[in-house]
Amino acid sequence: QQQVKQSPQSLIVQKGGISIINCAYENTAFDYFPWYQQFPGKGPALLIAIRPDVSEKKEGRFTISFNKSAKQFSLHIMDSQPGDSATYFCAVSGTYKYIFGTGTRLKVLA
């Protein structure tokens, strides 16, 4: 089964710091690379996503960096805030395939 490897499993960051979460995937049959944010008791919600024709996408404090040749992509959260404390999932998507990473629990200390 195709896998998406996500790291770290958990992350503690001081308020104002940078949070970095990494994902690696195994083949190239994907054309959509999203990150989802999930708060306790809620369903995941799309945070930011990138297509493979660009290497970086920024939306506010959130940036995806994408390395197609290395089959890796990462989420950077700048100026992390306590409200960013949540579980983050990367995913890879191709036709009729949507595979999630195992999640990273982020805690931002006030």
One residue of 14, 28, 67, 102 binding other proteins per CB under 8 A: 102
One residue of 77, 101, 106, 108 binding other proteins per CB under 8 A: 101
Looking at beta carbons only, is 79 or 98 nearer to other proteins? 98
Q: Is 29 in the site for other proteins (CB under 8 A)?
A: no
Would you say how long the chain is, in residues? 110
Strands 10-14 and 62-67: unpaired
One residue of 45, 54, 78, 109 binding other proteins per CB under 8 A: 45
Look at the block and give the residue holding tokens 């089959």.
71
CA distances to 59, 75, 106 from 48, in Å: 7, 9, 16
- Dihedrals φ, ψ of 21, to 5°? -125, 135
Contacting positions for other proteins (CB under 8 A):
1, 4, 6, 9, 31-32, 34, 36, 41-46, 49, 89, 93-103
